[in-house]
Amino acid sequence: MVTSNLYFRAPKKALTISGLKFSYQKDASLPVLNDISLSVRAGEIISVLGKSGCGKSTRLNLIAGLMKPIAGEISINHDKSRCNIGYIFQEDALMPWRTVKANLALAQEIGKVPHQQWQVSLMDLLSRFHLSENILEMYPTQLSGGMRQRVSIIQSLLFNPQLLLLDEPFSALDFCTKLRLEGEFYRFIKDTYRAAVLVTHDIEEAIALSDRVIILNNNGTIEADISVTFDYCQRDPESIRGVAEFGEHYRLIWAKLKAVISQ
Ligand SMILES: Nc1ncnc2c1ncn2[C@@H]1O[C@H](COP(=O)(O)OP(=O)(O)OP(=O)(O)O)[C@@H](O)[C@H]1O
Ligand SMILES: [Mg+2]
């Protein structure tokens, strides 16, 4: 399969956040995020866990530039316009009146991706995400949920983003589809040397996919930043779940998460 030569290699630091503070209130009396600092390297997958409402999605929106912080800085590989970011949500954002192909053509229309590059990347991505070319003439409503989410991911990747933000992207899928899509996503990031920040409620998913797991607490700061490493050489999200170290990571992360959830 053609892999990394299709994509330019991102520089080492993909995302740096320093002293980030944000509040939805004008007087900033209750900050959702308070003095958050973090950096993510190219080729690295970071998962963010925390109680519902602790500010995970807010943080992705700030990184994407959809909202402005009160204080602090976000540097994305010197990309001030934030053009190199792909944002993937729990539900696909496909336009139902357009065919799959027309949905995927957005990268040419908005992102000005040259046709030849778009075509080659499209074929590579369809193959990576195990989709047949036959779906290109179909409408999103004619696809299964898992297929729609794959198309949605491909739609973002065709813009050639260096940093991917994912907000519970696999949570609406059945377990088998989820495992498979996790594997495809993991291999894509590692083969093409992208960076990804993944928000999830699923500890197993976080361990299976991540190089680091960040746990946010309820007062807007980082409770823990845990490295997830395995001696086992084959790191695919399916087989790694059966490795003894997986259980050790699970126990540590769950203990820390349980502590913040019960605060
Ligand atoms: N547009 C908004 N205006 C005011 N408050 C908001 C707004 N969006 C979110 N909030 C509040 O900010 C806090 C963080 O919300 P956010 O959506 O970031 O949480 P989350 O960690 O992503 O939660 P979940 O796990 O349920 O998706 C919550 O208390 C929420 O009520
Ligand atoms: Mg959220």
pLDDT of residue 220: 85
pLDDT of residue 105: 96
DSSP at 191: H
CB distance 52 to ligand 1 below 6 Å = yes
Element (H, E) at 245: helix 244-261
Structure tokens at 32: 């959702």
Element (H, E) at 229: none
pLDDT of residue 263: 80
Considering Cα of 109, then 111, then 115, then 120, what sign does the dihedral take? negative
Location of structure tokens 């007087």 = 27
> Mean pLDDT of successive 10-residue segments in the chain (263 residues)?
45 86 85 91 95 93 92 81 81 93 94 92 94 96 93 93 93 88 92 94 96 93 94 80 93 96 87
**Is the whole-model pTM more than 0.85?**
yes
Strand ranges, E, within 89-228: 163-167, 195-199, 212-216, 222-227
| Nearest residue by C-alpha to atom 29 in ligand 1 | 53
Q: How far is the CA of 232 from the centre of ligand 1 (A)?
A: 38
Bridge partners of 49? 215
- In this structure, the chain runs to a length of 263
Structure tokens at 236: 């695919």
pLDDT of residue 83: 65
What is the tally of helices (H) and strands (E) in the chain?
8, 9
Q: How far is the CA of 123 from the centre of ligand 2 (A)?
A: 32
Is 113 in contact with 194 (CB distance < 8 Å)?
no
Mutation choice for ligand 1 from 57, 62, 219, CB with most ligand atoms inside 8 A:
57
- Residue environment code for 115-135, b if the CB has 16+ CB neighbours within 10 A, otherwise e: eeebeebbebbbebbebeeeb
Q: How far is the CA of 140 from the centre of ligand 2 (A)?
A: 24
CB distance 31 to ligand 1 below 6 Å = no
In three-state secondary structure terms, 5 is: helix
177 CB-contact burial (10 Å; exposed 0-12 / middle 13-18 / buried 19+): middle
pLDDT of residue 189: 92
Q: Where are the domains of the chain?
A: 95-160
What is the CA angle 108-126-209, rounded to 5?
105
Q: How far is the CA of 56 from the centre of ligand 2 (A)?
A: 6
Is 203 in contact with 228 (CB distance < 8 Å)?
no
Is 174 in contact with 142 (CB distance < 8 Å)?
no
DSSP at 103: H
| Nearest residue by C-alpha to atom 26 in ligand 1 | 52
Neighbours of 143 (CB within 10 A): 18
